[in-house]
Structure 1
């Protein structure tokens, strides 16, 4: 079976360094603002002001706020996917360590840093394109390491691919609902990074 195709974000592939720099400034601006206020309250003018460019410049690179949000959120995926890749998986889930990997805790910490953006993009009215890309990148990371860690012939590659997508789909569901506060009990401060990481690891190990 051929390896899963890698998907790269080509939006910022312009050869013009000024255009790449401007898009980087705009992505950073909307992510910074998302940590300060609700996304619905962020305007293109706010983004332009934070990035120190004029409003017309924003529209030269992005058709609207959602387009910019998609690109900015995709830029946060790299760290999350690499954290997932570092959580070493083996085909026999019951043989995994009881201790939650620090990289899984890091994964949720990175999501929490941009909680408002993930809540929006993985919500009911979010971006299907973002969700599909995120799921595929997570599945790719886990499929590749399952292939590496599994003795030849021990498991069919198709079975490993199904497991990788099962895990990545479950991870998206957990992240989406966690960022929306659906796991927070009444009167509680909310489920923290370490707690959601521990519960997720237990489920990955088949101990939930």
Structure 2
């Protein structure tokens, strides 16, 4: 009986989430009502309230679930060892990030559009920055001497990642996750000018 109830709850929440995403794409987040969600998910409002407090609670939980998957992939401890960066492992991690986003392409395309949740990209950046802070603390990066402050490095990497992801999803994921990983790694490690073919003069 417990397993059956669990499956029913999972199925209902899945229907609610899918209905919610469809409605955001159709009419925009701000215009959606609980009645809209319930009707589209073929449930009544009482059933919705058994699972979520309100629309904000639903979108928060939905975003948190997707971001948890994303941040689980971010693990600098794998490719950074005592000021040394293993480019191959770094690229593999970036490719895994793009692959994860590819699997949730519709979600990101809708959320990053004008119809999505206001501040979604900022929230995404803050979540990624916090994960980098925790990982850098684990490898004592803050205690090591670098010419660039770790906090500035975190901001730069997260901004580069978010900007690249936004461009990618807004251009219908025109390139593969692997290609995007190669490009982003070049941009981060070599710099935008040199990676584009410019010669740098002192």
Shorter-chain TM band: 0.5 to 0.7
The answer on 1:48 being equivalent to 2:44 is: no
What TM-score does the superposition give when structure 1 sets the normalisation length? 0.64
Corresponding residue for residue 116 of structure 2: 126
Does the aligned pair in 1 maintain the 2:98–2:177 contact within 8 Å?
Answer: yes
Query: 1:20-169 residue pairs with structure 2 within 5 A?
Result: 28-29=14-15, 32=18, 39-40=25-26, 44-45=37-38, 48-49=41-42, 53-58=43-48, 61=52, 63-64=54-55, 68-86=58-76, 88-89=79-80, 95-98=85-88, 101-147=91-137, 148=139, 150=141, 152-155=143-146, 159-169=149-159
* CA distance in structure 1 between the partners assigned to 2:153 and 2:185 by the alignment: 15
Deviations 1:61-105 (A, max 9, x none): 2544x7634431321111111212256357968x54256533322
Tell me the CA shift for residue 164 of structure 1. Answer: 0.5
Q: Any gaps of 5 or more consecutive residues in structure 2?
A: 196-202
Cα 1:144/1:138, change in 2 over 3 Å: same
Post-superposition offset of 1:176: 1.8
Return the TM-score normalized by structure 2: 0.65
Gaps of 5+ in 1: 1-17, 185-189
Closer/same/farther in 2, CA of residues 110 and 204 from structure 1, 3 Å limit: same
Provide the C-alpha distance between the structure 1 equivalents of 2:82 and 2:119, rounded to a whole number of angstroms.
29
Alignment of 1:176-187 (within 5 A): 176-181=166-171
Cα RMSD of the aligned pairs, angstroms, is: 3.9
Cα distance in 2 for partners of 1:202, 1:82 equals: 23
User: What does the per-residue CA deviation read over 1:149-187, in whole Å, with 9 as the maximum and x for residues that have no partner?
Assistant: 64844127x8101110221122112112211117x7xxx
CA spacing shift, 1:37–1:125, aligned 2, 3 Å: closer
Matched, 1:205 2:189: yes
Q: How many residues align?
A: 177
Residue 175 in 1 paired to residue 159 in 2? no
> Higher helix proportion, which one?
2
